[in-house]
Structure 1
Amino acid sequence: QVLAYHYVNESNAGFAATPEAGERWYRASAANRWIWGDSVNPTDPDLAFEPAPGGWTLRGTKRFSTGASAGDVILVSGTVRGGDDDGRGLTVVVERTRSGVAPLGDWDALGQRQSASGSVRFDDVLISESDVLAWAGDEPFGTLFTPAIQLSFGNLYLGIAEGALAQGVDLVRERRGSWFLSTAEKYRDDPFTQRIVGDLDARIAAAEALADRVGDDFDAVVARGSAVTSEDRGRIAIDIARLKIVTNETALDVANRVFEVTGSSSAKASTGLDLHWRNIRTHSLHDPVDFKRLEVGAYVLNGENQPISLYT
């Protein structure tokens, strides 16, 4: 998750920034070997950029700022309050160590514990024109950040499912004997065990095929650059929503049902098989998957796309 956020946050230099600004940010990131976190959660009230000599003063707090407390720089979005640009959305890049930037260390979820997704408070942080990555806009190519991060979620969920099954298979292979009513000598040879593993493996394989196809389609859209249309952007957003629906349900099911074949001993805390379920259960709540189902249904039935946002 942290790696995906790093790449997607950094990609805003290509999606949203002007070509000149994008090159500057990419060169700075490479030269300084930056890891990028973010503080852009749209469900909190916007951070306020108040006009000040030479730029702005940034104030406010953002929750769910993934990677912000561990990265070198933070992608920050908010709204200008006052002056000629009052009401405009602004995205900047600030160093985590800049005066006034205070990660609060309050991330206390049951899963994704190392994602550094706690809150960040900005206390009168000085922002200059050189910190600006982009002003908010609705040009289709510049808004591909959201499909990109949602695509990473779909692949994250797929990876959790793969990890849960891989650990489960290892545990089954290590089990001695079999259930006393079974006709098999070992659990790995029991038809019920093989049936469950086969079902979970097939579902993961189908999700992986979808993820690969959607990933290729997204790359093709990105390759069009400024020629990307609203229709292009809408179609890829729906494809990615489909992927998220499928991988969300697959990962939740695999991480839960794998215990059916690993046995009671796998419920020991020291085994750690619960890690996969805790991780998917935590991150799958990022934005309600039911609304992804509605997005897909509205598109299939009526050709409708949801308004562009940091979730759609």
Structure 2
Amino acid sequence: MSHALLKTPHDRAGDPLHVAAELARRLAATANARDQAGGHAAQERAWIRESGLLTLSIPAAYGGQGADWPTVYQAIRILARADSALAHVFGFHHLQLAGIQLYGSAQQQRRFLTQTVEQDLFWGNALNPLDQRTIATDADYGFQLDGVKSFSSGSVGSDWLTISAWHAETQSALIGVVPTRQHGVAVQADWDAFGQKQTDSGNVQFHQVSLPSTQVLQAPGARPTAQATLRSQVAQLIMANLYLGIGEGAFEAARGYIAAEARPWFASGVGKAGDDPLIQHRVGQLRLKLRPAAVLADHAAEELERLFRLGAAVTAQQRGELALAVAEAKVLAHRAGVEVSSEIFELTGARSTSAKYGFDRFWRNARVHTLHDPVDYKIRDLGRHALDGTLPEPTAYS
């Protein structure tokens, strides 16, 4: 697959998962060095743009590839095995596009999704619902935005942002979209976590930013429909597949190291580390952490696809049952990502901790990203439903 800029959907023919695998191979070649350096991965984000995968979830009616959600999530997982930071940026691009489809009017969907295809737009996020420091005030054209948004993943280098802002009069938030380079928008490249270093998740400042009513996806005071609340499930399943990809990437790194470089323990009585029954046993245990998580993630993706295509016909009951399936997948993926990325070192040994391998990035990335929202509340939701049948309350996280 050529990596030259692809101009139209017809030029992007071929299996998108093959394209994702080839892109992952390119990202893997520099992943360790870039993780150590941090900062903005401008060249690598250009590769993502050039791959054509930014149109993957856009319906064919708007010029996109019209892929189903299971395919989108597989692409995220493939990229996360190599570079979970850029897989996050890629996944959150598609989260913004999902929001347009779930919240936007028919005219807004056609406008923004068609422009994304025609202009190869890269979307970023400034919708952190827990950060209410961005204020929307009424204006004759719509609203004026002032304030700051934290954890704005993918904001650096983006073309458009999805934003949320607090509206005091209605004591509620609005959701809208603005061009990243619009006057008054200032993206700050100040993300400094010890993992997920290249997610461009710093702060975005808004100073007297105009938000026309035509760019408001959800007006303040509007009650979200069951369909609109699917956005949180799209987001949670992106995270589950990121964690799975991290765990799978760590597992493959350990497997390769054991086969090529690990030395057997002197008391094992074997000539190769991979022949040690204790190593084989532990590798089997790691596989058993990943495999069930993958099965549940794939099942949840199929359920999301089914409900997403129902559109406005989605019921609250169906949405709640999907939230349970996504919660199951998220919990197991969370555990698999953190535990596998940590436990591999017990199999690969002291030499594998050398900075030249960078195997620690898998754990650091998993540890940072799994702090996004407390997994214990997912487990609480699952337990409560098992006891009394209560479905998860629709929020930005459940």
Please tell me the TM-score bracket, short chain as reference.
over 0.9
Is the contact between residue 48 and residue 60 of structure 1 (CA under 8 Å) also seen in structure 2?
yes
Instruction: Provide the residue aligned with 2:121 in structure 1.
Output: 34
1:298 paired with 2:298, answer no
- 2:227 aligned residue (121, 133, 141): 141
Give the Cα–Cα distance (whole angstroms) in 2 for the partners of residues 130 and 68 of structure 1.
22
For the 8 Å contact 1:68–1:117, the answer to whether it is kept is yes
Aligned residues: percent identity?
33
| 1:46 shift after superposition | 4.7
Choose from 5, 8, 19 the match for 2:106: 19
Question: How far, CA to CA, are the matches of 2:144 and 2:118 in structure 1?
Answer: 27
| Partner SS, residue 110 of structure 2 | helix
Helix, strand or coil at the partner of 1:133: strand
Partner residue of 1:219 out of 298, 305, 329: 305
Question: Which of 302, 306, 319 is equivalent to 1:233?
Answer: 319
Q: Distance in 2 between matches of 1:148 and 1:170?
A: 33
Return the match for 1:159 from 245, 249, 270. Answer: 245
CA–CA distance in 1 between the matches of 2:332 and 2:382?
A: 12
Q: Which runs of no fewer than 5 residues in structure 1 stay unpaired? A: none
Distance 2:125 2:296 in 1: 28
* Structure 1 Cα separation of the partners of residues 154 and 384 of structure 2: 34
> Secondary structure in 1 aligned to 2:268?
coil
Structure 1 CA distance for aligned equivalents of residues 378 and 214 of structure 2: 37
User: Is 1:77–2:145 an aligned residue pair?
Assistant: no
Cα-to-partner distance string for 1:189-216 (whole Å, 9 max, x where unaligned)? 1111111111111321221111111111
Relative to 1, partners in 2 of residues 1:45 and 1:176: Cα closer, same or farther, differing over 3 Å? closer
User: 8 Å contact 2:93–2:124 — kept in the other structure?
Assistant: yes
1:264 aligned residue = 350
> One-letter code of the match for 2:171?
G
Partner of 2:179: 95
Q: 1:65 to 1:73 in 2, by over 3 A?
A: same
SS in 2 for 1:93: strand
Q: How far, CA to CA, are the matches of 1:134 and 1:226 in structure 2?
A: 15
Q: 1:57 — aligned with what?
A: 144
Greater mean deviation of Cα atoms: 172-181 or 62-71: 172-181
Q: Does the CA contact (< 8 Å) of 1:51 and 1:81 recur in 2?
A: no
Partner of 2:209: 125
Match of 1:192 among 268, 274, 278: 278
Residues 185 and 69 of structure 1: CA distance in aligned 2, closer, same or farther (over 3 Å)? same
**CA contact under 8 A between 1:38 and 1:68: conserved in structure 2?**
yes
Aligned counterpart for 2:257 among listed residues 158, 166, 171: 171
**Which amino acid is 2:253 matched to?**
Q
Aligned with residue 288 of structure 1, among 352, 374, 393? 374
Contact 1:16-1:143 at 8 Å conserved across structures? no
RMSD: 1.4
For the 8 Å contact 2:324–2:392, the answer to whether it is kept is: no
SS at match of 1:105: coil
TM-score between the two structures when normalised by the length of structure 1: 0.95
Q: Do 1:38 and 1:75's aligned partners in 2 also have CA atoms closer than 8 Å? A: yes
Q: Residue 138 of structure 1 aligns to which amino acid in structure 2? A: P
The answer to whether the aligner puts 1:309 opposite 2:387 as a matched pair is no
* Matched pairs, number: 309
| 1:306 CA drift (Å) | 3.6
